[in-house]
Amino acid sequence: MKQNWFWLTLVFWMVFTVSVISWALIFSPTHYDPQTISKYRTEINGLNQDSEIWRNEGHLKDLLPIITRSWEKEGWKQTRQSSDLSLALLGLTDEPSELTSRVQISVFQKKGFYKTLGLWEPVGKDQTYGWVSEIPDAAFNSKVAREKWSLPLLPPSEAEDLYCQKIKNFKIGIFSMPARQNFEKLCADQGFQQKLWRREQGQEIYFIAKGMSRLLAVLDSDGTRKTVSLSSFEH
């Protein structure tokens, strides 16, 4: 009889222990334990940008403060009071909606570096996908941007807001210039042939070429300045 009580008691405590552990796992708070999907490196204005895409169990609203606290312990500080830049970057002006509650974009800064955090929670899933990118802040220095410009069409001396990115063989470049600047003359002065493909209100699209270089150029104008977006694929 004593042996039966012993075994019954042992089984009871084993079942109880397993139940407690299972309950704790089910109701435990979200943990920041990202599972890497992809890592890659690009160049922005000649400087390396390292990026990572990952997946993490849990909802975005629970995960965001955990990541923020973790990064702040490492010395990263948000670059502005608001922790979410998704409204501005998505071109939305309304109050947060169902979309913005599932998309969060934040930028952090530490001496000499910027770090971007993008989070996305798919509808109906207890998972959050993240994109983290780190780059030296020197990449946004106008002098460095001009020196490291890597597309064959060079911006004019009056150009501002220079941005050049390389992803393997694909390059994009953006700059703004005064609206009075003639883009076709800019191309001709550098030996490029240009062909206007489409002209709409406030926008022009060109194919330009010189030797083996082929570029697509999109011009957007607000009346005072033109923004020129270039793209090129190298074989």
Of 118, 139, 160, the last residue of a domain is: 139
* pLDDT at residue 10 is higher than 70: no
- Residue 218's pLDDT is what? 93
Domain identity same for 23 and 49: no
Give yes or no: residues 128 and 212 share one domain.
no
Secondary structure element (H or E) that encloses residue 133, with its range? strand 127-136
Alpha-carbon gap, residue 18 to 222, rounded angstroms: 66
pLDDT mean over 14-26: 43
Assess whether 135 and 78 both reside in one domain.
yes
Residues 145-196 have pLDDT tens digits of 999 999 999 999 999 999 998 888 889 999 999 989 999 999 999 999 999 9
Residues 147 and 213 in one domain: yes
Between 29 and 173, residue with greater pLDDT? 173
CATH number for 211: 3.30.160
Distances in whole angstroms, Cα of residue 213 to Cα of each of 77, 193, 207, 208, 231? 42, 10, 11, 8, 11
Residue numbers of the domain that contains 21: 1-29
CA distance 124 to 129: 13
For residue 26, pLDDT beyond 50? no
Higher pLDDT, 202 or 136: 136
Question: What percent of the chain has pLDDT above 90?
Answer: 43
* pLDDT value for 100: 65
Across the range 220-235, mean pLDDT stands at 86
Taking 80 as the threshold, does the pLDDT of residue 7 lie above it? Answer: no
Query: What per-residue confidence (pLDDT) applies to 15?
Result: 45
Q: Which has the minimum average pLDDT: 16-20, 58-62, 156-160, 218-222?
A: 16-20
Residue 72 has pLDDT above 50, yes or no: yes
User: Minimal CA–CA distance to 228: which of 168, 160, 169?
Assistant: 160
| 3-state secondary structure at position 52 | strand
Tell me how many domains the chain contains.
3
Residue-level pLDDT at 142: 87
Q: Are residues 23 and 94 in the same domain?
A: no
Q: Which residue has the higher pLDDT, 79 or 89?
A: 79
Do residues 181 and 152 both lie within one domain? yes
SS3 190: coil
Coil, strand or helix: which one is 191?
coil
Q: Are residues 150 and 106 located together in one domain of the fold?
A: no
Rounded to an integer, what distance in angstroms lies between the CA atom of residue 48 and that of residue 177? 26
Question: CA 228, CA 235: separation in Å to the nearest integer?
Answer: 23
Of 83, 66, 70, whose CA–CA distance to 28 is shortest? 66
Mean pLDDT over all residues of the chain? Answer: 81
Residue 104 is part of a domain; what is its CATH number? 3.30.310
> CB count, 10 Å around CB of 135?
20
Higher pLDDT: 63 or 24? It is 63
118 close to 131: Cβ distance less than 8 angstroms: yes
**Residue 33: helix, strand or coil by DSSP?**
coil
pLDDT at residue 20 greater than cutoff 60: no
- For every residue of 90-136, DSSP letters joined together read TT--SSP-TTTTSEEEEEEEETTEEEEEEEE--TT-SEEEEEEEEEE
Higher per-residue pLDDT: 54 or 16:
54
Rounded average pLDDT over 113-136: 90
- Three-state SS for 125? coil
Q: Are 32 and 63 in contact (CB under 8 A)?
A: yes
Quick one: 109 and 147 in the same domain?
Answer: no
pLDDT tens per residue across span 105-119:
888 999 999 998 989
Model confidence at 227, pLDDT cuts 50, 70, 90, reads very high
- Give just the sign of the alpha carbon dihedral 181, 157, 225, 88: positive
| Alpha carbon separation from 1 to 4, 7, 13, 116, 204 (Å, rounded) | 5, 10, 19, 67, 93
